[in-house]
Structure 1
Amino acid sequence: MNWDDLHILAVLEREGSLAGAARALGVNHATVSRRITALEDALGHAVVRRLARSTPLTEKGREIAAIARDMEQNAQRIKRISNATQGTLTGRVRLTAPPVLVSEIIIPALRDLRAQHPGLQIVLSANSHIASLDSGQADLAVRMVEPQGKQNIIRRIGSVEFALYATPDIAELPPQQWHFIAFDETLAHVPQQCWLEEFADGRPLDLLTGDFHSQFAAARSGLGVALLPCVMAEPCRELVRIAAGQPEARLVWMVIHADLKHAPAVRAVADVLVDAIGAM
């Protein structure tokens, strides 16, 4: 049996389709299908049902995938323990954070760390989704939602304030004539979007995007009033802050897997995050 094929089965169960597993693994669809077939030949059992539009796991496949998930988690733990025993600031640290914090705070703050420790490689992922530390997607994470999980080290490290911004000509219009730039339906649940909808009170939200960088660009282009992170919009000379109320600040949390809390490289990156985000 090729143990890598068990890993592919675990990913297939997690992603729900051959195409999803292929994307997660960075291979093509045919490779996943071929490795699953090889696993079935080695086991002597079918682990998936090949239907026209889906590839669900059989009962035996689900049972084996559960064991494979445990193997995957143990392999990730071995890697974390190995990283934690390194006494020098070398190796790779994987960090995930919301895009606006990555571009405005984290990247500028990493310059000195990189200069001091050129052997340290930082894999930086700017994602709004919650990356899993247990599955090895990240070594540490910055989140704007309070994290859960007893096996993780969780620390509140700062907050992000929001305010309304627009170009001067739009800001001078009567408030009843304002048009708003907002999130699309994928982020309709976030607190600042809920606040903006209530503040708009029937006035049009006529430009919807899925991220702050698009909203920032739209506001700079004079397309409406946007609720933006102050750390992003305040330095921009093309925008003015509209003194018309603002939502509560969003708390920022840092999460480190417990197995890595003593790893020098991870601790060094964590210290940079605490200083940079706390300074906001």
Structure 2
Amino acid sequence: MDWRDLHVLAVLHRESSLAGAARALGVNHATVSRRISALEASLGHKLVRRLARSTPLTEKGREVAEVALEMERQAYRIERLVRAAESTLTGRVRLTAPPVLVSEIIIPALSDLRAAHPDLQIVLSANSHLASLDSGEADLAVRMVEPQGRHNIVRRIGSVSFALYANRSIAGLPQHRWRFIAFDDTLAHVPQQRWLEEFAKERPLDLLTGDFHSQRAAAEAGLGVALLPCVMAEHSRTLIRVTEQQPDPRPVWLVIHADLKDAPAVRAVADLLIGAIG
């Protein structure tokens, strides 16, 4: 039995689809299928049901995958413990954060870190997905949702304010003629979306997107009024704030796996984030 095949099964279980597993592993679908087939052959059990539109795990497949996930967590813990014992600011640090914070705050702040620690490599994922620190997806995470997890060090490091912005042609219209740019169903649950729906009342939310960068571009193009992070919209040359009404700021949280809290490289990145966002 090859551990690499078990790892593929664990990722397939975690991602819940062949396509998701292939993306997470950085391989194609055929490689994932081949690894699963090899594992099935070595164990003598069917682990995956190969259907036309999905690849659910069998009962035995789920049992094996849960064990494989625990093996993966322990392997990553060994890696973290070794890294925490290092005394130099070198190596790789994996950071995940919402795209708007990456583009508007984190990337502009990285030049000072690079100048101070040129041997430090940052793997930066601009993703709203809540990456798992236990499974090695990230060493640190910046989140706008209060994190959970027994093995994490959590600290509130700042907040993000939102306001309504439009270009001058839209801003000059009477408010009853405003049309709004909002999130699609993937983010309809976030607090600022609910505030926008209440503010708009009967006025239309007729352009829906899945990210702030698209919303900013749409607002700059005169397609409506958008509720945007102030840190993003205030850099725009074409947008102006159209009302003083605004929702409560969203808190920003820093999450570090407890095993890495004293690792010098992780600590350096954490200090950068605290200074940039706080």
What is the number of equivalent residue pairs in this alignment? 278
Q: Secondary structure at the match of 2:133?
A: coil
> How many angstroms apart in 2 are the aligned matches of 1:11 and 1:236?
40
Counterparts of 1:240-255 in structure 2 under 5 Å? 240-255=240-255
Query: Which residue does 1:50 correspond to in 2?
Result: 50
Counterparts of 1:137-176 in structure 2 under 5 Å? 137-176=137-176
> How many angstroms apart in 2 are the aligned matches of 1:72 and 1:176?
56
Structure 1 unmatched ranges of 5 or more: none
Establish whether residue 26 from structure 1 lines up as the match of residue 51 from structure 2. no
Query: Which residue does 1:130 correspond to in 2?
Result: 130
Q: Once the two structures are superposed, what CA deviation does each residue of 1:198-245 show, in whole Å capped at 9, x if it has no partner?
A: 101111112111111111111111211111111111232312112240
Q: Once the two structures are superposed, what CA deviation does each residue of 1:68-101 show, in whole Å capped at 9, x if it has no partner?
A: 1111001111111122111111100000001110
Distance 1:146-1:7 versus aligned 2 partners, 3 A rule:
same
Kindly state the Cα deviation for residue 139 of structure 1 after the two structures are TM-superposed: 0.4
Q: Root-mean-square deviation (CA), in Å? A: 1.3
Q: Secondary structure at the match of 1:142?
A: strand
Distance 1:50-1:113 versus aligned 2 partners, 3 A rule:
same
Counterpart residue type for residue 109 of structure 1: A
Kindly state the Cα deviation for residue 25 of structure 1 after the two structures are TM-superposed: 1.2
Kindly state the Cα deviation for residue 54 of structure 1 after the two structures are TM-superposed: 2.8
Counterpart residue type for residue 148 of structure 2: Q
Counterpart residue type for residue 75 of structure 1: A
Kindly state the Cα deviation for residue 53 of structure 1 after the two structures are TM-superposed: 3.1
Distance 1:70-1:154 versus aligned 2 partners, 3 A rule:
same
TM-score for the superposition, normalised by structure 1 = 0.95
> How many angstroms apart in 1 are the aligned matches of 2:33 and 2:237?
54
TM-score for the superposition, normalised by structure 2 = 0.96
Query: Which residue does 1:188 correspond to in 2?
Result: 188
Q: Secondary structure at the match of 2:149?
A: coil
Query: Which residue does 1:232 correspond to in 2?
Result: 232
Task: Say which is worse superposed, 255-264 or 201-210, in terms of deviation.
Answer: 201-210
Query: Which residue does 1:15 correspond to in 2?
Result: 15
Q: Secondary structure at the match of 1:96?
A: strand
Distance 1:56-1:166 versus aligned 2 partners, 3 A rule:
closer
Counterpart residue type for residue 37 of structure 1: S
Query: Which residue does 2:3 correspond to in 1?
Result: 3
Distance 1:173-1:53 versus aligned 2 partners, 3 A rule:
closer
Q: Secondary structure at the match of 1:110?
A: helix
Kindly state the Cα deviation for residue 38 of structure 1 after the two structures are TM-superposed: 1.5
Structure 2 unmatched ranges of 5 or more: none
> How many angstroms apart in 1 are the aligned matches of 2:221 and 2:114?
35
Kindly state the Cα deviation for residue 18 of structure 1 after the two structures are TM-superposed: 2.8
Q: Once the two structures are superposed, what CA deviation does each residue of 1:153-174 show, in whole Å capped at 9, x if it has no partner?
A: 0000000001111112321211
